């Protein structure tokens, strides 16, 4: 944000519903793509912003795809990180697909379970967040019930890389200790509901200019079929105005790990419009 604002842009980074200082409704059905996109459109309207450049990462990227899908008239261009646009499969719900491909222990499948809040609560929040931020294992994350998060907590590095500090981690932990993890989990619990609600957009393309950036160590890049989808033209069929960047040696939290490079990529793209 500081990099872009120093170049003359007004940069806005809202806490999405369920995170930080934003309200966190307890019910999973309050976190559909329609709800979150509606929140963002309400924010744009409140700030009297007709069209904006959009940047997203992880769940922010998923919501950014939905915003471009539902309201391309409000977006000048999109820079999205880590998570590709997955067109709706009309025959199979997302969780069913994930269970078949990656098993019941895959984290998105486990997050559907109501006891996950209790499982998160048994781990020390700062240590848990550190393990998420610093993992460089691109294998699909699995959380077997018998061990839970233990496998990840036991391999957390003791020395932090230069791009993250204890102050950063403690800040995130404080926010999660305030809101809890239910809001974040509810995004995953809406995967199938989003699938049901977005039937009318089956076969639709993303019609705004897009730059997509992913690290070659990102776990999302190693989901079965994703590399082929990105590199063999499948991605460009559904996002026709697409530029792809694969950054070597970068893992999932690429926006923090490679902050200056990402800022440069964003500026180099949006200055064209």
Tokens of 178: 């305030």
Q: Which of 244, 187, 212 is nearest to 18 (CA)?
A: 187
188 is an active site residue: yes
Rounded CA-CA distance 257/249 in Å is 10
What gap in Å lies between CA 174 and CA 169, rounded to an integer?
9
Which residue out of 31, 58, 172, 221 is catalytically annotated?
58
Measured between alpha carbons, how far is 245 from 216 in angstroms, rounded to an integer?
10
SS3 content of the chain, % helix, strand, coil (to 5): 50, 10, 40
Secondary element (H or E) of residue 168: helix 166-179
Rounded to whole angstroms, how far apart are CA atoms 164 and 125? 16
**CA distances from residue 243 to 180, 236, 269 in whole angstroms, order as listed:** 37, 9, 9
Task: Outline where DSSP puts E strands in 22-106.
Answer: 52-57, 75-81
> Cα(259)–Cα(177) distance, rounded to whole angstroms?
26
d(CA 144, CA 93): 22
Q: Is 252 an annotated catalytic residue?
A: yes
**57 included as an active-site residue:** no
Which of the residues 221, 229, 252, 265 is marked catalytic? 252
Alpha-carbon span 183 to 27, nearest angstrom: 9
Which among 19, 106, 187, 188 is annotated as catalytic? 188
Question: Phi and psi at residue 253, in whole multiples of 5°?
Answer: -90, 60
Question: Which are the catalytic amino acids?
Answer: 58, 188, 252
């Amino acid at each position: 944000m500081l990099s872009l604002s120093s170049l003359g842009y007004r940069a806005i980074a809202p806490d999405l519903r369920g995170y930080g200082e934003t309200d966190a409704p307890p019910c999973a059905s309050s976190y559909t793509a329609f709800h979150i996109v509606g929140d963002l459109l309400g924010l744009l309207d409140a700030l009297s912003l007709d069209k904006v450049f959009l940047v997203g990462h992880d769940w922010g990227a998923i919501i950014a795809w939905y915003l471009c899908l539902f309201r391309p008239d409000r977006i000048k261009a999109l820079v999205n990180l880590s998570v590709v646009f997955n067109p709706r499969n009309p025959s199979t719900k997302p969780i069913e697909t994930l269970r078949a491909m990656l098993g019941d222990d895959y984290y998105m499948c486990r997050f559907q379970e109501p006891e996950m809040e209790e499982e998160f609560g048994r781990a020390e929040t700062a240590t848990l967040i550190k393990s998420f931020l610093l993992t460089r294992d691109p294998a699909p994350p699995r959380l077997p019930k018998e061990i839970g998060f233990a496998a990840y907590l036991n391999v957390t590095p003791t020395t932090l890389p230069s791009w993250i500090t204890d102050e950063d981690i403690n800040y995130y932990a404080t926010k999660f200790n305030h809101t809890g993890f239910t809001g974040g989990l509810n995004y995953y619990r809406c995967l199938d509901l989003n699938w049901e609600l977005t039937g009318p957009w089956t076969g639709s393309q993303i019609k705004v200019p897009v730059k997509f950036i992913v690290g070659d160590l990102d776990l999302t890049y190693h989901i079965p079929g994703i590399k082929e989808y990105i590199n063999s033209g499948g991605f460009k069929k559904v996002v026709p105005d697409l530029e792809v960047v694969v950054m070597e040696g970068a893992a999932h939290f690429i926006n923090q790990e490679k902050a200056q490079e990402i800022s440069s990529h964003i500026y180099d793209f949006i200055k064209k419009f």
